[in-house]
Amino acid sequence: MTLDAFEHEKTARITAVNWAVLAEDEAKRLKALGVDEGAEVAVIHRGIFGTRDPLAIRIGRMTIALRRSHALAIEVEPA
Amino acid sequence: MSRDDPAPVTNRVRTAALVGNPNSGKSALFNALTGARQKIANYPGVTVERKAGRLALPGQEPVELVDLPGAYSFDAASPDEEVTRKVVHGEFAGEPTPDVLILVLDAANLEQHLVFAQEVLELGRPTVVALNMVDLAERDGLTLDPAALSEALGVPVIPTVAVRRKGLAELTAAIAEAETHADEEARKRWHITLPERRLAAKHMSKAAILSKSTRHTIENGIDRVLLNPWVGPVILFGLLFVIFQAVFAWATPFADALEGGVGAISEAVTASMASGFIRDFLTEGVLAGVGSVVVFLPQIVILFFFILVMEASGYMARAAFLMDRLMAGVGLSGKSFIPLLSSFACAIPGIMATRSIPDAKDRLTTILIAPLMTCSARLPVYAVIIAAVIPETTVGPGVGLQGLVLFALYVAGIVGAMAAALVLRRTVAKGAASGFIMEMPRYQLPRLKDLAIGLWQRAWVFLRRAGTIIFTVTIVLWLMLSFPKAEPGEGQMDASFAGMVADGLHPILEPIGFNREMSLALVPAMAAREVAVSALATTYAVDAADEDVAAEGVTDKIAALWSLPTALAFLAWFVFAPQCISTIAVARRETNGWKWPAFMVGYLFALAYVFAGLTYWGAVALGL
């Protein structure tokens, strides 16, 4: 399951990230923020007016905004 | 802030640099340590270039302290991070390699910040850690053990709260002793991969956290409302609307008082001096011109107040989140929203703030459309014209028609910018769709003192412009308007040099409804938009046949002399026209050449002409 489809506010563990579909800079930035295999994340906010894009995820003690296109490249399982 | 005074003694001044993740409080610490007043705000990417200041150390010579943009890693992903990488590695032209690094960590986000920290420590440079914002960590229920962290990192760790000036004495003492702590051998163990670093960071932060209460932070509660998919955008647009209403409504008593003051001085000068060149120069040139701009100080202060509060509280990043979807529609991202919102105050810091945008095409597009955001310099122009031609009626409870027109002008700028972005991203700035990745800062209550300093700085910049650029341009214009002197029966403006310039320009601008005075005012307004107001004021003051009419304010003149379509066309012109030398100069600097600023000036003038024309002919057709 991708992070995009994962249940709201439930903790997910990242099992794989399809880095190949992401721009190099964005992959770099996501990794630097700790979004990588093994990390535990939860989707806590969604974009305006039912667009569901972007997403805000909680990782560690941080909240990070990212796009659905990123979330679709992130495979997760329930933590 | 570059210092090039030579060092008095032969040994060079030691340098220290502040490094750390974005939004860890480096600039706040820089200000606290040096007494400087660098811009600080609560979102990642505020500082986009290096800034230097002098730091006094106990018992030795002061060192040069350099504040650097925040970075997530030395593997730079955006232009501002690249500056940090270069300075720290000693590759930045004209900048010595810092002798001491002050690594700033957010105490409430240790696990994340310790990842980049290891990269910094790997350099093997003398380093001191400032464990900053320990107060916010406590608010989040964290109790930390600096000694444990110091042991794990092998460098001194000093708990600080930069904005409250806590821990500064301990930090400076540690910096003074830092060189003795240099221990390159001890750092060898850091040469590891990112996942290993992350694991190490996890262990170190765990060891440094003595206790933590519930993970529930206040952000969750506030964001549940402010980032709600339906309520959030309503609050954001409501807030923006309130800001524009407030700019008009709250400022009125202060602006009236200032205007009264300028009028009183003008009358006093007229009464106490013999009529002649000097008196005309003071009343028609200095007071009518500069005075007409200075009265907008209250409105500018109010606008900046709201922007500073949004920046300091952490709401700005939430606004970027809410706006991302809309920005994506025109090929940009929420990251562009912060520079664009700053451009409502002034496009110059807005354009500089684009350095935190990683994608080059995104950044270029944002630079090119930033001048379309209604900056505070347009406020005097809009305010004068609106006050002159739009009746002071209400269209609903608490909603004035004048405020509504002002809001419409802001919206016109935004819509114009979005349309321009849409076209630019498909033509000259074509590229892959950009992404949006951004850390959301924790909320903080803005500190009154920081707000006051920020407002004072902006007010001072505005007044200095009034006293320098606007003063000079107004006086040159006044001289050109006053000479040669008119023959009896001839209007002064017709006879003057300025009149000749106006006659040259007028045929081009007449089709879009501009009169001669407007055509003339546009020339000095190239220096800065608000000069248009002082130029009109001076032009009408000089051209007035008798003293009574000369004493009238520029607003009354416009109300009497301009038709509504003409006034609306002038407003439409200023929505688009790139009339600001400083903005063009900063665009040249940020794009490294004249190509893009030239393009920017060209397309914006073209838009200004077309839309002023459409407005004029549309209004005439509607019988306004």
Closest residue in A to B438 (Cα–Cα): A65
- What CA–CA distance (Å, rounded) separates B202 from B515? 69
| Per-residue pLDDT at B5 exceeds 60 | no
Beta bridge pairs of residue B22: none
Mean pLDDT of all residues in B63-92: 91
Sheet holding B15-20, edge to edge: B51-57, B60-67, B15-20, B100-106, B127-132, B157-159
Is residue B71 a contact partner of residue A24, using CB atoms and an 8 Å limit? no
CA distance B567 to B335: 36
**Pick from B605, B564, B580: nearest CA to B386:** B564
Q: Which residue of B105, B437, B440, B443 to mutate against A (max A Cβ within 10 Å)?
A: B437
Copy the structure tokens of residue A40: 């535990």
pLDDT in tens, B250-301: 888 888 898 888 889 888 988 888 888 888 888 877 887 778 778 778 888 8
B359 pLDDT band, cuts 50/70/90, is: confident
Highest mean pLDDT among A21-30, B2-11, B373-382, B418-427 belongs to B418-427
Reduce the DSSP state of residue B55 to 3 states and report it.
strand
How confident is the model over B382-390, as a mean pLDDT? 90
Provide CB contacts within 8 A for B615, sequence distance 6+. Answer: B513, B565, B568, B569, B571, B572
A32·B328 Cβ contact <8 A: no
Q: What mean pLDDT comes out for the span B301-311? A: 88
In sign, the C-alpha dihedral spanning A15, A21, A24, A29 is: negative
In angstroms, rounded to a whole number, what is the distance separating the alpha carbons of residues B475 and B473? 5
Is residue B152's pLDDT more than 50?
yes
Mean pLDDT to the nearest integer, B95-119: 92
The pLDDT score that the predictor gives to residue B181 is 52
- Position B368 scores a pLDDT of 96
Picking from B39-48, B199-208, B537-546, which range would have the lowest pLDDT averaged per residue?
B537-546
Tell me which chain A residues have a C-beta less than 8 angstroms from the C-beta of B112.
33-34, 60-62
State the Cα–Cα distance between residues B604 and B585, nearest whole angstrom: 15
The model's confidence at residue B214, banded by pLDDT at 50, 70 and 90, is low
- Whether residue A64 and residue B72 make contact (CB cut-off 8 A), yes or no, is no
**Residue B549 reports pLDDT greater than 70:** no
Q: Is the pLDDT at B156 greater than 70, yes or no?
A: yes
Taking residues B166-188, report their average pLDDT.
Answer: 76
- Range scoring the smallest mean pLDDT among A25-29, B197-201, B537-541: B537-541
Contact of B505 with B517, CB cutoff 8 Å = no
Is the pLDDT reported for residue B178 higher than 90?
Answer: no
Q: For B416-452, b where at least 16 C-beta lie within 10 A, e where not — what string?
A: bbbebbbebbeeebeeeebbbbbbbbbbbebeeebee
Q: What is the mean pLDDT of residues B401-410?
A: 87
pLDDT at B6: 45
Q: Do A65 and B334 touch (CB under 8 A)?
A: yes
Q: How far is CA B616 from CA B103, B356, B374, B508, in A?
A: 58, 40, 20, 14
Binary contact (A64, B77; C-beta < 8 A): no
- Ranges A61-75, B78-92, B210-224, B240-254: which has the least confidence: B210-224
> In angstroms, what separates the C-alpha of B117 from chain A's closest C-alpha?
12
Residue B551 has pLDDT above 80, yes or no: no
Average pLDDT over residues B50-60: 87
Task: Check residue B217 and give its pLDDT.
Answer: 67
The rounded radius of gyration (Å) of the Cα atoms in chain B is: 28
For chain A, what's the residue count?
79
- For B110, which residue in chain A has the nearest alpha carbon? A61
Phi/psi of residue B137, each to 5°? -65, -40
Residues of A in contact with B227 (CB under 8 A): 45, 56
Q: Tell me the average pLDDT across B61-84.
A: 90
Percent of chain B with pLDDT over 90: 41
pLDDT single digits (tens) A24-68: 888 989 998 999 999 999 999 999 988 899 999 999 888 999 999
pLDDT band at A8 (very low <50, low <70, confident <90, very high): very high
pTM comes to 0.85
C-alpha distance from residue B530 to each of B134, B357, B378, B563 (Å): 45, 30, 6, 21
Q: Which of A25, A49, A61 sits opposite B111 (nearest CB)?
A: A61
Q: Which residue type sits at B369?
A: I
Per-residue pLDDT averaged across B10-31, rounded? 84
Residue B488 has pLDDT above 80, yes or no: no
Please tell me the distance from the alpha carbon of residue B282 to that of residue B285, in angstroms, as a whole number. 6
**Nearest by CB: A61 against B73, B109, B324:** B109
Whether residue A32 and residue B116 make contact (CB cut-off 8 A), yes or no, is: yes
The distance of Cα B316 from the centroid of its chain, to the nearest Å, equals 13
Q: What residue ranges in B29-186 does DSSP mark as E strands?
A: 51-57, 60-67, 100-106, 127-132, 142-144, 157-159
Q: Which of helix, strand or coil describes residue B412?
A: helix
**Region B512-528 average pLDDT:** 88
Best-predicted range by mean pLDDT (B129-143, B236-250, B487-501): B129-143
- Which of chain B's residues have a Cβ under 8 Å away from the Cβ of A44? 220, 223
What integer best gives the mean pLDDT of chain B? Answer: 86
Chain A residues with CB-CB distance to B215 below 8 A: 61
**What are the tokens at B211?**
């206790």
Instruction: Transcribe B98-124 into DSSP letters.
Output: PSEEEEEEEGGGHHHHHHHHHHHHHT-
